[in-house]
A and B are shown apart, each in its own frame.
Chain A
């Protein structure tokens, strides 16, 4: 099965969107699920959230920032080229229930993940308030789509280059003081989710968060995406990635998120491994086996 790219778009600074033909996945995917993508053979697999899908045409859209090596490779692929492997849909779908007022907060790349959830809540009949934040106007993405998916949208930029100046959490705090909220959905950096959860914990508002730890196989086999929920280790790829925000141990999550930041000292370490026996002799001995009849 080949996964052909049929459309590609640059959304913001360093953020790209690609549409991929994957009928099996498009048929099944629900809001909040993700896929595991590997652009080339024998490469790293990375989890990416599915932003939208079209079961009739059989394609899925993925939005990703070009940060690491694998996402850069993925971003370098052109239309009509194929991706080596996509596995999905993985993870549990988001719990979409009809609530009165739902506040969806997202910053940075989290906006791409919250968009299908906003759409689902709106289709379900809830009133959706979107609060999205970015560093600058250039880094803000999917703003028109979010406007359509929410009943009301508040946009915050750190330097005030677009709409309101300030952090998304500050605006959320202000909003929470003035309005009645039934459910809060937060996706973004760990600090942002921790702040949102501490705010809602005071008012006992149900809060859902989506965690994005590093995953290797995305099927519950490696254990790299373990997070502490309610004092218990669970795998985010199987039980998540959506969790009750008040139960997540954010200190632990912070450690796990930074666990793969490689220090320069560890890179390119020379090997001290030396084979004891003469390898050329072994090779000659091995090759002599082919000369037999």
Chain B
């Protein structure tokens, strides 16, 4: 991202909170969100690691600076309206980062969002206890103050097609539709009642009123014992949301606990909240009860073994280790694919095998001229910081293209 971290820390040490905030805000438009949920590659790269000491908690410092620092940056940069018009499809982290970058360079940016409020995955995919909605609203208002126009209830491809958007007077279109399509799991019983995909589960909870300490959800039957399948951030969010709904939660995943793709702190929180971890377990079948709801989950244990004698240790099933996990709701959160549905009816917009758009790496353009891509539909990475970096990068590419 190119944040000047040494200077940021120096300002904090000198108790110049506003300077520190400005330092971080000029490079990253979501400081208080990054301070909460970022996977913090900066801490992994901290030079203190080499000396055996724990790294500096840059994430926590960022959160502190962003929550309490007041910036003059938005007031100083009065919105300049007169540049070329740019349409951004999707108001997730990548889209909004690119929008704010482009707005700072003087373009007129319009963001199209299909939901009723902007924020994308930050609003609908991440629960309230990780990003309070108030914090997110503040961040989006900062971006709006830069002169970015956000149109909600606008699904590109249906309300207006991509072709129409290109033929209007937009000089360029940025596709940042993110990763929203859940990966389907192919085990018997996935269509039973009480089986949810992680996205659906989180979306139901996040869209409901009174999000945090809500005990009851309409039209979301959740039983007493939830089994969450998956080891990523989405799975952990589902599990922790389930605990907050007052349920017993078991987290099932195939790898070991140290291999989970989440931060160590998150794992400790999950343990503290009473989530039961079942590492190295593979679900085989979801069993039905007489009323065709979930009655249990049949699993097998996995273990590392040198099965074919090639010297490579792989996860294989342990024989005769089948057991039935007592659960009446199953949440499947085994990852998601890029959401490239916007190009469904546009034949000359090429989509790769894995669902990302085909992008020319030099110019950042897709196979349609004037149409760019950023975020998950381009990189197929999953972390927030990758999306922000991709948004910044594409903003530079678009700027270079339009000049």
Binding site for B on A (CB under 8 A): 1, 24-25, 28, 38, 41-45, 68-70, 84-90, 214, 216-217, 219-224, 226, 228, 233, 238, 252, 255-256, 258-263, 266-273, 276, 289, 292
Contact = CB atoms under 8 A, between A and B. Distances in A.
Nearest to B121: A221
Given A262-B221, A269-B246, A272-B246, A87 B192 contact: no
B379 interface: no
B319 to A, nearest CB: 30
B84 interface: no
Interface stretch (B20-28, B35-43, B200-208, B300-308): B200-208
A287 B82 CA distance: 43
A29 to B, nearest CB: 9
Contact of A268 (B160, B203, B211, B216): B216
Contacts of A256: 191, 193
Q: How large is the interface on B (under 10, 10 to 19, 20 to 34, 35 or more residues)?
A: 35 or more
Given A223-B199, A252-B191, A258-B193, A69 B218 contact: yes
B159 A222 contact: no
A260 B207 contact: no
B219 A44 contact: yes
A273 B273 contact: yes
Interface of B: 68, 114-116, 124, 152-155, 158-160, 180-182, 184, 190-197, 199-200, 203-204, 207-209, 211, 215-216, 218-224, 243-248, 272-274, 291-293, 339, 341, 344
A221 B207 CA distance: 14
Contacts of A70: 218
Nearest to A219: B114
Given A220-B339, A258-B193, A271 B159 contact: no
Given A1-B153, A42-B209, A263-B221, A255 B292 contact: yes
A260 B216 contact: no
Nearest to A286: B67
A45 B216 CA distance: 17
B158 A89 contact: yes
A28 B158 contact: yes
Contact of A270 (B159, B246, B341, B344): B246
Contact of B199 (A87, A221, A233): A221
Contact of A261 (B182, B208, B216, B221): B221
Contacts of B207: 42-45
Contacts of B191: 226, 228, 233, 252, 255-256, 259
Given A222-B200, A238-B341, 17 more contacts: A24-B160, A28-B159, A43-B209, A44-B219, A70-B218, A87-B114, A87-B155, A88-B159, A219-B155, A258-B292, A259-B192, A260-B221, A262-B219, A262-B221, A268-B215, A271-B215, A273-B273
Main secondary structure of the interface of A (DSSP, over half): loop
Contacts of A214: 219
A228 B115 CA distance: 27
A250 to B, nearest CB: 12
B159 A24 contact: yes
Contacts of B193: 255-256, 258-261
A30 B166 CA distance: 22
A69 B182 CA distance: 27
A109 B188 CA distance: 32
Contacts of A271: 215, 244-246
A252 B189 CA distance: 10
Contacts of B222: 266
Contacts of A43: 207, 209
Nearest to B201: A222
B332 to A, nearest CB: 8
A39 to B, nearest CB: 11
Chain A to chain B: the 6 pairs with minimum beta-carbon distance, closest first: A271-B246, A259-B193, A85-B116, A222-B200, A221-B180, A223-B197
Most B CB within 10 A of own CB, among A43, A87, A268: A87
Contacts of B224: 266, 269
A213 B221 CA distance: 15
A202 B207 CA distance: 46
